[in-house]
Chains A and B, each alone.
Chain A
């Protein structure tokens, strides 16, 4: 299950970055991938739609949102947790 969450999140991020999923590295930041603030908001929308979850994110202060976007790995982990919480 956790692999599929990871693959789906990477697919969403890759689509925003206009890259092949295989070219997205887990330690990259969104900035590394060339994703700007609008791309980020769109990615979060796609994640919410794909997993039917609510992502706690405010574009006014990304660093203080409960949702860690500091790297691809951080986003994947945060989404995995939200999906787990949803099941619980």
Chain B
């Protein structure tokens, strides 16, 4: 089995348009959540979100590209450009034939669905733009990345709701680890902050109207975000031979299904995914210094997740740190695990643990060190990233300092 390292990272999300800006915001505990600026927001009962601001598609793309790129694809291409530039890899010849791109998204081109339903239903039009289908399809972002960088190996999109990015990155990790490719592009993207996207979420009544407060006793729901993060996963010897900067090593991955309920999380399912990732990485629970939590800020997730961590780690649960950066960038649904992997890299590489902001009151059911409100300096060697999706699909990644 090959060792797998990360040699490039890129992002655009509510906290910043680059990795540098995003990590700076995470370290400063900045809240990227604010009033939504979208059409018909006055008809929504949820009017906040982690929106990407100061973003002008026309400054990035020409008219022909915008006709083909939904917002989730636009975000993906921006993140991929940063990640691949950092890695310094050029995909040509054999490397181009092997390398592929695996991305997560839950909704794909939701804005494109929304705009075109509006045009046929509300405005009564009988004709839509010819590119609606290639623009909205879930694999559009992965396909455009493959075309932009000559990635001719295994490429696909994974849709497992809120675990999509972790499942996608896990697939890419396994492809490099088993030797199928020396490099893979992986990550995820989401953009469903439009009228129809938010209206659909309102229906479940799990959204907060004011803030995302993971693990805090006064938490009252999740807040949606949008954006993308993309990484270059590379075989260790290949990266070392060319003198690439290594951001972190991916050492384990596990996925489980609860097989129980379509929305309620299961402590056992989460615990099996966490312990499975440790087993896959051949790590002891006591090796783990930090967990980037799924931490949605809903009543159900946060207490279930803390119970799962307590079960897997026993006494060590009190010694490790666990934070939810969703408090800052919102829940990017299918893209969330990718943006959260940035916090894992920051913990390993820079020794900075991103905080859980908006933490007001301890909850006895979430009695762990959630790194409340302020980032902390800490030397950690191993971190985990949790993702637990609607539908009971769980995916956990384990990373180690190099």
Say if A and B assemble together. Answer: yes
Which A residues are within 8 Å of any B CB, using their own CB? Answer: 37-38, 41, 44-45, 54, 57-61
Q: Is the CB of A59 within 8 A of B204?
A: yes
Residues of A within 8 A of B148 (CB): none
Residues of A within 8 A of B219 (CB): 60
B90 at the interface (CB under 8 A from A): no
Interface size band for B: 10 to 19
- Within the complex, the shortest CB–CB distance from B69 to chain A, in Å, comes to 35
B205 at the interface (CB under 8 A from A): yes
Q: Is the CB of B263 within 8 A of A58?
A: no
The docked-state distance in angstroms from the alpha carbon of A60 to that of B205 is: 8
- Within the complex, the shortest CB–CB distance from A64 to chain B, in Å, comes to 8
B180 at the interface (CB under 8 A from A): no
The docked-state distance in angstroms from the alpha carbon of A18 to that of B262 is: 20
Which B residues are within 8 Å of any A CB, using their own CB? Answer: 45, 203-206, 208, 219-221, 262-264, 298-300
Residues of B within 8 A of A41 (CB): 203-205
Residues of B within 8 A of A45 (CB): 203
The docked-state distance in angstroms from the alpha carbon of A59 to that of B220 is: 9
A37 and B264 in contact, given A45-B203, A60-B298, A61-B299 (Cβ under 8 angstroms): yes
The docked-state distance in angstroms from the alpha carbon of A38 to that of B263 is: 8
The docked-state distance in angstroms from the alpha carbon of A36 to that of B300 is: 14
The docked-state distance in angstroms from the alpha carbon of A60 to that of B301 is: 10
Interchain Cβ contacts under 8 Å between A and B, 5 examples: A41-B204, A58-B220, A60-B208, A60-B300, A61-B220
The docked-state distance in angstroms from the alpha carbon of A37 to that of B45 is: 21
Q: Is the CB of A58 within 8 A of B262?
A: no
- Within the complex, the shortest CB–CB distance from A68 to chain B, in Å, comes to 16
Residues of B within 8 A of A57 (CB): 205
- Within the complex, the shortest CB–CB distance from B201 to chain A, in Å, comes to 12
Q: Which residue of chain A has its CB nearest to the CB of B205?
A: A59
Q: Is the CB of A60 within 8 A of B203?
A: no
- Within the complex, the shortest CB–CB distance from A56 to chain B, in Å, comes to 10
Q: Which residue of chain B has its CB nearest to the CB of A63?
A: B299
- Within the complex, the shortest CB–CB distance from A60 to chain B, in Å, comes to 4
Q: Which residue of chain B has its CB nearest to the CB of A44?
A: B205
Q: Is the CB of A60 within 8 A of B262?
A: no
The docked-state distance in angstroms from the alpha carbon of A58 to that of B208 is: 8
